[in-house]
Structure 1
Amino acid sequence: MKKRILRYEYLDRYIRQRLLMKPNSAKFVATKVAADGLLFGPLDLLVFFSYMGFSSGHSAQQVKEDVKRDFLPALLLGGTVWPVVQIANFRFIPVRYQLLYVNLFCLLDSTFLSWVEQQGDAPWKQWFKSITGVDD
């Protein structure tokens, strides 16, 4: 939890000071949403699915296969929801309360990701591979 607080504070400070953007401007919010989604989103998914696999007693090879199976559908589906959540977060919520706001959605996201992981090799996951052209 402390790491996430530091992540938002660092991101806010970095964009204000290094990129010299006015807080709460459209460019400022878009930059924070892009950084959160493109940098932290994929890393969070990788950690989540790896942890779930290892904590379930799967081998490293099985965890790798599961991550390959689950990562893309979760990333694409999450990529439709999280930007909207984060736009509201970064635009309207003060930095010190952003963690509380986002943790409400993290609870829902963890539930969703657990469901994705438990679906195994469901046909709808194969559909994501077919539309993106990604093969095993």
Structure 2
Amino acid sequence: MSWELTRRRFSRAVNSKFILDRIPLLHAVIFFIEMAIMARLMSRFNAYYDERPVLTMMVTNAVLGGIADTVAQTITSVRERALRKPGGITKNDSMAIEIHELDRKNPWSDRELIPDSKDLPPPFDFERLTRFMAYGFVMAPLQYKWFSFLSRAFPITKTSAFAPAMKRVILDQLIFAPFGIACFFTTMTLAEGGGRREVAQKLRDMYIPTLKANYMVWPAVQVINFRLMPVQFQLPFVSTVGIAWTAYLSLTNASEDVEQKAAPHSSNIRLQ
């Protein structure tokens, strides 16, 4: 029991540190570690890809997924920190990004170990980070095979570039995008301990709005990707651009979790 108390005290102490009283220190440290790992991967990407292309994609995708979720958790922490300040969020507080109340999955217990710890935002969720990294790791082979298939089915040549690229984009957005979004919400819900009912609820609430958001972003990204990027850089390019998209999915997924736990008559606002 003493070890658990020590661990919880340490966790609260670490999560109570902020840079400029706004940005959580632990989130920033994790982010810079992830960026350092990504910089190392990118510096030797071609060598790693030549030796083990699929494994290289899997590791790269996992790290980028971790970066995306760290960004999402940081946004949530900044928002929660601002909400707890006297007076709440003001129009002049540029760091207090207007994201609706999210990610209350780890509220402090009534038996506090640090005075006024309820003034702190939720701690960094390492389990959530692990889920996102694992999802990116596992999905990479499927994405790699998909991009390879598109490259073979619609080859781009010096005399024919635009038409094959557009065919790739259309096929990708009609087939893989709907599948990928459904796969994401299903996998994350199951990983969080949900069952068939929770999966159906998540898809019913979040699938269509997320698919609409996808069609506002990804067709243009994929035109650039398929038109200009060599095959070995297509998945890293998508994953890099996808940091913001995955952060959006992370926030959306967490938002739905909050709404499902809220009172039936409470007023909830979903990301659209």
Deviations 1:23-66 (A, max 9, x none): 66221111111111110001000110001111111221121111
* TM-score (ref. length: structure 1): 0.79
Cross-structure match for 2:236: 100
How far apart are residue 7 of structure 1 and its match?
Answer: 1.2
Name the structure where helix makes up a greater proportion of residues.
Answer: 1
**Residue identity matched to 1:26:** F
Structure 1 unaligned spans of 5+: 129-136
Cross-structure match for 1:60: 196
**Residue identity matched to 1:2:** P
Deviations 1:49-104 (A, max 9, x none): 00111111122112111111000010001111001111110111112211111111
* TM-score (ref. length: structure 2): 0.42
Cross-structure match for 1:12: 151
Counterparts of 1:39-118 in structure 2, within 5 Å, are 39-118=175-254
SS at match of 1:58: coil
**Residue identity matched to 2:180:** D
Cross-structure match for 2:161: 25
How far apart are residue 124 of structure 1 and its match?
Answer: 4.7
Q: Give aligned pairs, total.
A: 122
Higher RCO (Cα < 8 Å, 6 or more apart)? 1
Measure, in 1, the Cα distance between the counterparts of 2:176 and 2:170.
10
**Residue identity matched to 1:12:** S
Q: Which has the larger radius of gyration?
A: 2
Cross-structure match for 2:47: none
Q: Is residue 154–residue 165 contact of structure 2 (8 Å, CA) maintained in 1?
A: no
CA RMSD for the aligned pairs?
A: 2.0
**Residue identity matched to 1:95:** V
Comparing 27-36 with 100-109, which one deviates more in the overlay? Answer: 100-109
**% identity of equivalent residues:** 24
